Amino acid sequence: MSKEPGRVVLAAEDIVKTYRSGERRIDVLRGVDLAIREGESVSIRGESGSGKTTLLNILAGLERADAGRLFWQGEQVSGRSLNHLAVRRRGFIGMVFQAYYLVPELNALDNVILAGRIAGKNTRLLRERARALLARVGLAERVDHLPSRLSGGECQRVAIARALINEPPLILADEPTGNLDERTAEDVIDLLLGLCRETRTALVLVTHNAEHARRTSRQCRLHLGRLEA
């Protein structure tokens, strides 16, 4: 299989986002352009408060831009209803957050399955795929453990497996190692990049870690509201 990036999975054109705090206007994004291709990994760095998470939320359809256009697999989704975005997002985007966001009452297996059940997939097939994913991330012996019985690194591994359960063409990861110690963070980045390469899944990685950023196929920096190579 070719290792060259394939078709464009996501494209953002001239994205603008402004907030107001009293009389103060804060221009967070001032015309951001970004295109992500199949099999490509892109890192985004920037100062705290530069708008990295805002940009990621807009790319995910969780937050609306004030201007600009957003395309998912060639479909313009900017301006579509939140319900349409929610349904479309289930099979298109997997998300990994700094805080894991696992359901505390569900074990590792059921946390991974949950995203697939929401997407309406067959439960038996989901359980098989979830077990395979948990084995791939090194948690074959922890499938029945609640999040409270897992370490931070193990919780993030469960979150990565959950992000991949619906076989999405795109993963958005927002500071996925922010709550982890250095060694565990390296293991998680190894896993995330490795899985995305294996599955040809595109990855957008928001990180403050320069070493992690350098490991992606393309590096960007968000500065003064614009995305720079």
Domains annotated for the chain, with CATH where assigned, are 39-61+81-228 (3.40.50.300)
Q: Given a cut of 60, is residue 87 above it in pLDDT?
A: yes
Confidence of residue 21 (pLDDT cuts 50, 70, 90): confident
SS (HEC) of the chain: CCCCCCCEEEEEEEEEEEEEECCEEEEEEEEEEEEEECCCEEEEECCCCCCHHHHHHHHCCCCCCCEEEEEECCEECCCCCHHHHHHHHHHHEEEEECCCCCCCCCCHHHHHHHHHHHCCCCHHHHHHHHHHHHHHCCCCCCCCCCHHHCCHHHHHHHHHHHHHCCCCCEEEEECCCCCCCHHHHHHHHHHHHHHHHHHCCEEEEECCCHHHHHCCCEEEEEECCEEEC
Note the pLDDT of residue 5.
53
How does pLDDT run across 22-67, given as a tens digit for each residue? 888 999 999 999 999 999 999 999 998 899 999 999 999 999 999 9
Question: Which residues have a Cβ under 8 Å from the Cβ of 76 and sit 6 or more positions away?
Answer: 69, 70
pLDDT of residue 2: 44
For the entire predicted model, the pTM comes to: 0.93
Mean of the pLDDT values across residues 188-199? Answer: 94
Angstrom distance (rounded) from CA 145 to CA 159: 14
